[in-house]
Amino acid sequence: MNIVMKPIGVVRTDVVKVPRHWSVSDAEGTLVIDEKYLQGLEDIRAGDRIVVIFHFHQSQGFSPQFLRQTPPHRGEPLGVFSICSPIRPNPIGMSVLNVLGIKGHIIHFKGLDMIDGTPVLDIKPFVVDKQSCPSFEG
């Protein structure tokens, strides 16, 4: 099976030292989304939290030696699927971002943990319970 994804946009920031994870970040940036997706952005508002799925486009290639890695802040080897390393079998990342504002196809946000030029694959609502997701059927 071959899975092909195309970016819907790109991250823009001038932050040089990017925080290691969105949960410890106050850094800001913008998501510049392709204008053909403008209608899909219409209900995102300042104050919302969104989940951004992205591609670790500058991550080194994965090999079995990276199944266990030692994160710098943990000090012990851990399995790749239990950590947030960019070195993964499929270099896909996820961040929960705070929307500061949106103008057209550009979303200004806080919680940056991506470098400038990171390809954005998808945006999803941040759902904490079924009331916060209008299409939830459960």
Question: Full-prediction pTM beyond 0.75?
Answer: yes
CATH (domain of 95): 2.40.30.70
Judge whether 109 and 54 are in contact, CB under 8 Å.
Answer: no
In order along its 138 residues, the chain shows pLDDT tens digits of: 999 999 999 999 999 998 888 988 999 999 999 999 999 999 999 999 999 999 999 999 999 999 999 988 888 999 999 988 899 999 999 999 999 999 999 999 999 999 999 999 999 999 987 665 656 555
Determine, yes or no, domain membership for 1: no
Which among 113, 88, 93 is positioned nearest to 29, based on CA atoms?
113
Determine, yes or no, domain membership for 19: yes
Domain count, the chain: 1
Coarse DSSP helix, strand, coil percentages of the chain, rounded to the nearest 5 percent? 15, 35, 55
Query: Which residues constitute the domain of residue 54?
Result: 9-58+84-128
Determine, yes or no, domain membership for 78: no
